Amino acid sequence: MGIREFPGGTPRGKGIAISMRRSPDVSPRRLSDISPQLRQLKYLVVDEAIKEDLKWSRSVEDLTGGPAGLTSIEERILRITGYYGYQPWAASYKREERPRDGPGPAEAPAGAEAGRANRSGCRCSGLQLRKLSWGLAVVLCVCASWAGSTQLAKLTFQTFDAPFTLTWFATTWNCLFFPLYYAGHVCKAADRQSVKQRYRECCRFFGDNGLTLKVFFTKAAPFGVLWTLTNYLYLHAIKKINTTDVSVLFCCNKAFVFLLSWIVLRDRFMGVRIVAAILAIAGIVMMTYADGFHSHSVIGIALVVGSASMSALYKVLFKLLLGSAKFGEAALFLSILGVFNVLFITCIPVILYFTKVEYWSSFNDIPWGNLCGFSVLLLTFNIVLNFGIAVTYPTLMSLGIVLSVPVNAVVDHYTSEIVFNGVRVIAIIIIGLGFLLLLLPEEWDVWLVKLLTRLKVRKKEETAEGGGDLGSGPRNKSRRARPSFAR
């Protein structure tokens, strides 16, 4: 090594000797002291056997395994010549045998960085664990409120056959959204605002002029109509078919949202979501076939598909016209929908009552407990669905809707005469699978490739470590068997 690096002899060695680092463990040496040996190195011919012994000698091993990977020029030459019994490996071994009570000055920043990284990793994992815990609670709440409201509506129609009146009564409870939000703001916010200040700040969501009469009729009234149609069609479908079919068919609204967003909002095209939409449509057809295309089942399926379509149109138009809303703005908007329902939709139940389309003989015959219970469950469902994103992931909240399907299926199995034939079960599975595919994030393919790459790299590292462990034994043994050339 050192022989071929310096063919020029002594003059070049003198020029380089100025900047050479000297070993602190031995007395200082100069290249001029060993100039005769250096001149002899020029004509030195090394035998192959000697090269092999030199490769396994401890001096060369110390050369390649130094702290900085390379040693100084002077130390290389002194190793080869063995001048004055210079043995740098003895000093290096002494340094390696010293006990290390703590990190040195150069290692302290790295240790501090590692400690900070570990603390931040623990903090991130704790935050994720907290979000997952809240997510589990939110999923259970969404599932229980949605399935409970569906079953309670089915029970209410046995004695009170008025789906539109029930829709109007439940939508009126939307007026409580903003008061409940303000109560939470007073309890949690550090800088509390008055009701008027908070209302004016949330009204900026509608524009610089706030909530004007024109804004009310152009941006709030259409959504009030869509809200009422969504709930009415859903409740009317419950009268025609069982709650299991209604709940699973309503899950198709996720596919309709994707299709409308792709067409209207020009969202990113994703093949997996197209597959999910096809699965949803196939599930609707199979669900219709499950009961043999009877008139009640066909009408009920058409009603719930219409409800899912209105829900998808509501979401896409909201994003198109109003964009995204903060918590206070969303609460104010939903309260405005309740006010619109009271002011402009109240006349419709009255007309239906006097035309005896939805008629009840006495107000005492109205099951107020069922009506209030349904309204509270629906209000809880909307509150959790709109504000649950503050404590958990949106995907987990959506899982609560699809989990309500098996809950309704179990209840229908014991309370109704539903027949779970093969076609119905396959349709439920297909629609549920399509719903889950729609929950995949947009970058799911990139994440999948990264995960597979990471697993492949880890497997290669484990294989290399296993091969290194197997090969280290014979190599160390051969090293111990060879004598040191420098000695």
Positive or negative: CA dihedral 259, 263, 264, 267: positive
What is the pLDDT, as a whole number, of residue 446?
Answer: 75
In the predicted model, what is the mean pLDDT of residues 435-440? Answer: 85
pLDDT at 224: 95
pLDDT the model gives residue 337: 95
**Contact between residue 411 and residue 151 where contact means Cβ atoms under 8 Å apart:** yes
pLDDT tens string 313-349? 999 999 998 888 888 999 999 999 999 999 999 999 9
pLDDT of residue 325: 84
CA 151 – CA 400 distance, rounded (Å): 16
Q: What's the burial of 61, exposed, middle or buried (CB within 10 Å: 0-12/13-18/19+)?
A: middle
> Regarding predicted confidence, which is higher, 425 or 18?
425
Of residues 172, 236, 211, the one with CA closest to residue 372:
172
Break the chain down into helix, strand, coil percent, rounded to 5.
75, 0, 25
Q: How far apart are CA 277 and CA 315, in angstroms?
A: 17
Two tokens at 203? Answer: 């009204």
Q: What is the pLDDT of residue 479?
A: 47
Kindly report, residue by residue over 87-100, the tens digit of the pLDDT. 444 444 344 344 33
Q: Over range 51-78, report the average pLDDT.
A: 48
Output the pLDDT for position 106. Answer: 34
pLDDT at 395: 79
Give the mean pLDDT of 110-121: 48
The residue length of the chain stands at 487
Give the pLDDT mean for 73-91. 50
Question: Could you report the per-residue pLDDT of 248-270, keeping only the tens digit for each?
Answer: 999 999 899 988 988 888 887 78
Exposed, middle or buried by CB within 10 Å (0-12, 13-18, 19+), for 198?
buried
Q: What is the pLDDT of residues 350-381, one digit of tens each?
A: 999 999 899 888 888 889 999 999 999 999 99
**Choice between 177 and 46, residue whose per-residue pLDDT is larger:** 177
The residue that leads in pLDDT, 75 or 213, is 213
Q: What is the pLDDT of residue 114?
A: 46
Mind listing the pLDDT tens digit for each residue in 149-170? 999 999 999 889 999 999 999 9
Q: Which of 388, 383, 393 is nearest to 131 (CA)?
A: 393
Confidence of residue 122 (pLDDT cuts 50, 70, 90): low
pLDDT attached to residue 292: 73
Question: What is the pTM assigned to this prediction?
Answer: 0.68
pLDDT tens digits, 172-186: 999 999 999 999 888
Cα 98 from chain centroid (whole Å): 48
Q: Which residue has the higher pLDDT, 484 or 413?
A: 413
